[in-house]
Structure 1
């Protein structure tokens, strides 16, 4: 970062849309963003679990953020379906106001997929299509829909965040669905950054987090070496907390000096 350009202290009066917001890293992002936006900002939180979303909404209302006029909208939606994507776009348009000066979309929703099998076992196209619909198509179509709903205008900054993984760059045996989905998503946002120079586009890799997905990884992964690696990381306390990784993501967004379209890893921040 240039020495004469200090980092921002907040994310502005924002409309922030977060997918997969009900638990894990998405829940932590929601809480951290709520502390960094100006009063009368709007959070649109999307996930498949309505109960978990409403619990998060109550937590935010009870926190300091609840006294700043923060508006929180919950959207119970399956992003693997066209109707789910459309419901998030519609809720975002309805929740927004004219004094919003920062649009933030965090494409966090995702799933590990079946890691108990190797590539040669995936002969069912509908199974693969279902995974890609939720993990790839939804992110692309939601991003496109949000950008159409909130076109470029004077005074509006637009930031698109893709929560990615080392798996977008490296092959992990028995993780063919996850690696494929993350690689495809990352390319979507690299292309978007080339096409839309006014956007700020970031793919952020949060690292190995101590979440339910990690528990699934160390118990169900077919590849023995990979399974043992994650089991050892867990037993040795090497998994990152969502809070620690999210703090670095917020630092990156506030400093805002990354090349648009970049892949940034938690260990590089």
Structure 2
């Protein structure tokens, strides 16, 4: 018999990185409406002003959300201090007070797509990209899982916001594709190591965001740039709301295989 689909995310501590704009901002808004009273929504980004704007929007969007705390962490996740500050802020919520730990690793950058792979001769430049797009996701996930170990009555879930680029090579996107592929494998390993943990890599599809503007404006490969421009010109880009709705549906139904990579178009 199929288990009933949950209508909410429970009394949760939900951490969203890259929450100040685009997909992360839209995700924060939708998740907020699905948290039970006494939950905590922890929003992480580098922009203090945009985080404060989001917190104000959330606080004014409902009149019956008493007991739901919104906390903001201004942090650069490329740095150890940013990881530690985020974990420290999460620890302010005692584990016994929550029934669901939900971490959504959304923070990411496109990288320099105006160049081909053979131009990246400086390892410091490459390391700087991977510190945000790979290392931070692993270190933050490890830190939070350590802060909230498995116990009876606690459901733990980690989401990796992924991309088709984790599975397919896009010319002139060597940093982005490599980073997404590394994260995909990282979370597959985590799912194998932690059988009590729910792990999902979700590819949100081609979104109408600032990153897509950057991609269609600066991509070096002419065919890929033409394809990206056509998606925009023909109105085939997805809104963040459309894509977030499918991710939320996956989380509520909770029927995916842990470690799976699921694309917007798979659903």
TM-score, reference length from structure 1: 0.97
Instruction: From 87, 97, 100, give the equivalent of 1:99.
Output: 97
Across the aligned residues of Structure 1 and Structure 2, the Cα RMSD in angstroms comes to 1.0
Aligned twin of 1:9: 7
In the alignment, what sits opposite 1:154?
A: 152
Matched, 1:138 2:122: no
Aligned to 1:245: 243
Asked whether the 8 Å contact 1:201–1:260 carries over to 2, the reply is yes
Unaligned runs of 5+ in 1: none
Q: Choose 62-71 or 246-255, whichever is displaced more.
A: 62-71
Shift of residue 70, structure 1, vs aligned partner: 1.2
Cα distance in 2 for residues equivalent to 1:87 and 1:259: 31
Change (3 A) 1:9 1:183: same
The offset of 1:187, in angstroms, is 0.6
Distance (Å, rounded) in 2 between the aligned partners of 1:70 and 1:172:
42
1:228 aligned residue: 226
Question: What is residue 83 of structure 1 aligned with on the other side?
Answer: 81
Q: Which residue of 2 aligns with 1:121?
A: 119
Summarize deviations over 1:23-63 as a string: whole Å, max 9, x none.
Answer: 00000111111011111110110001011001000011001
Distance 2:193 2:13 in 1: 23
Deviation string, structure 1 residues 176-221 (Cα, Å, up to 9, x no partner):
0000000001111000000000000000000000000000000000
SS of residue paired to 1:67: coil
Aligned to 1:55: 53
Aligned residue in 2 for 1:166: 164
Distance 1:148 1:98 in 2: 15
* CA distance 1:65–1:128, shift in 2 (3 Å): farther
How far the C-alpha of 1:65 sits from its partner, in A, is: 6.7
Of residues 25-34 and 62-71 in structure 1, the stretch that sits farther from structure 2 once superposed is 62-71
Distance 1:71 1:128 in 2: 38
CA contact (8 A) 1:73 1:95 kept: no
Aligned match of 1:201: 199
User: Contact 2:215–2:225 (CA<8 Å) still a contact in 1?
Assistant: yes
* Ranges in structure 2 where 5+ consecutive residues have no aligned partner: none
Shift of 1:96: 4.2
CA apart distance, 1:4: 2.9
Aligned equivalents of 1:254, 1:127: Cα separation in 2: 39
Q: Distance in 2 between matches of 1:169 and 1:86?
A: 31
Partner of 2:26: 28
Distance in 2 between the 1:113 and 1:96 partners? Answer: 37
- Indicate the SS of the match to 1:31: helix
Give, in whole Å, the separation in 1 of the partners of 2:109 and 2:252. Answer: 28
